Amino acid sequence: MTPLIVITCYLLLLLGLGLYAGRMARGSSSDFFLAERSIGPFLLLMSLFGTTMTAFALVGSTGESFKRGIGVYGLMASISGIIHPLIFFIIGIRLWSFGKRNGYMTQIQFFRDRLESENIGIVLFPILVGLLIPYLLIGVMASGTIINVVTAGAFPEAFADFKGGVPPALGSAVICLVVMSYVFFGGLRGAAWANAFQTVVFMIVAAVASFTLASKLGGFESASRAVIESRPEMFTRVAIGKWEFLTYLFIPLSVGMFPHLFQHWLTARSARTFRLSVIAHPICIMLVWVPCVLIGAWATSAVVGGRPVIPPNFANANAVLPIMVKKLTTPLTTGLLSAGILAAIMSSLDSQFLCLSNIFTNDIVLHYGRKRTFSERQKILIGRGFVIVVVAITYLLSLAEPRSVFVLGIWCFSGFGALFPVIFAAVYWKRLTRAGAYAGILSTAATWLYMFRDSGFGENRHYLINWLGPDRGIMPAAVMFLVCVVATVVVSLCTRPPSDACLRKFFRT
Partner 1 sequence: MNRRIMYIATLVLIVLHQDVWFWTDARLLFGFMPIGLAYHALISILAGCLGAWACYACWPHEIEDDDTP
Quick note: the x/- pattern for partner 1 over 334-373, rule CB under 8 A, is ----------------------------------------
Q: Which is nearer to partner 1, 225 or 327 (CB)?
A: 225
Give the H or E element holding residue 471: none
Q: How far is the CB of 344 from partner 1 (least distance, A)?
A: 18
79 binds partner 1 (CB under 8 A): yes
100 makes contact with partner 1 (CB under 8 A):
yes
Smaller CB separation from partner 1, 52 or 148? 52
For residues 122 and 126, what is the distance between their CA atoms, to the nearest angstrom? 7
Give the footprint of partner 1 on residues 275-314 (CB under 8 A): 275, 278-283, 285-286, 290, 293-294, 297
Closer CB to partner 1, 271 or 304, in the complex? 271
Binder among 223, 345, 382, 408 for partner 1 (CB under 8 A): 223
Restricted to residues 250-279, the positions that interact with partner 1 (CB under 8 A) are 270-272, 275, 278-279
Taking the complex as a whole, the smallest distance from the CB of residue 290 to partner 1 amounts, in Å, to: 5
Total residues binding partner 1 (CB under 8 A): 50
Closest CA to 17 of 284, 346, 377: 346
Which of 67, 163, 216, 237 is the binder for partner 1 (CB under 8 A)? 237
Name the residue nearer to partner 1 (CB basis): 244 or 376: 244
**Residue choice 10, 73, 411, 424 for contact with partner 1 (CB under 8 A):** 73
Q: How far apart, in whole angstroms, are the C-alpha atoms of residue 153 and residue 443? A: 51
**Which among 126, 185, 188, 190 has a CA at the least distance from the CA of 388?**
185
143 close to 346: Cβ distance less than 8 angstroms: yes
188 with 34: CB under 8 angstroms? yes
Contact flag: residue 224 with partner 1 (CB under 8 A)? yes
* DSSP H or E stretch at residue 244: helix 242-247
Check binding of 242 to partner 1 (CB under 8 A). yes
Site membership for partner 1, residue 245 (CB under 8 A): yes
**Residue 497 DSSP symbol:** P
Report the C-alpha gap between 280 and 268 in whole angstroms. 16
Cβ atoms within 10 Å of 233's Cβ, excluding its own: 12
* Nearer Cβ to partner 1 (368/428): 428
Residue 70 in the binding site for partner 1 (CB under 8 A): yes
Which contiguous run of DSSP H or E holds residue 308? strand 307-308
| Contact call for residue 97 and partner 1 (CB under 8 A) | yes
Q: List b or e across 333-366, with b for residues whose CB sees 16 or more CB atoms inside 10 angstroms.
A: bbbbbbbbbbbbbbbbbbbbbbbbbbbbbbbbbb
Q: How many CB atoms lie within 10 A of CB 413?
A: 20
| Ramachandran sector of residue 37 (left: φ over 0; alpha: ψ -120 to 50; beta: rest) | left
- Reference 144, options 316, 49, 7, 51; nearest CA is 7
DSSP state of 25: -
215 binds partner 1 (CB under 8 A): no
Alpha-helical (H) ranges within 103-163 are 107-114, 120-150
Side chain identity, residue 387: V
In eight-state DSSP terms, residue 268 is B
- Provide, rounded to whole angstroms, the least separation between the CB of residue 330 and partner 1: 24
Which C-beta is closer to partner 1: that of 235 or that of 450? 235
- Given 24, 25, 86, 208, the residue binding partner 1 (CB under 8 A): 86
Binding site for partner 1 (CB under 8 A): 70-71, 73-74, 77-79, 81-82, 85-86, 89, 93-94, 97, 100-101, 220-221, 223-225, 228, 232-233, 235-238, 242, 245-246, 249, 270-272, 275, 278-283, 285-286, 290, 293-294, 297, 508
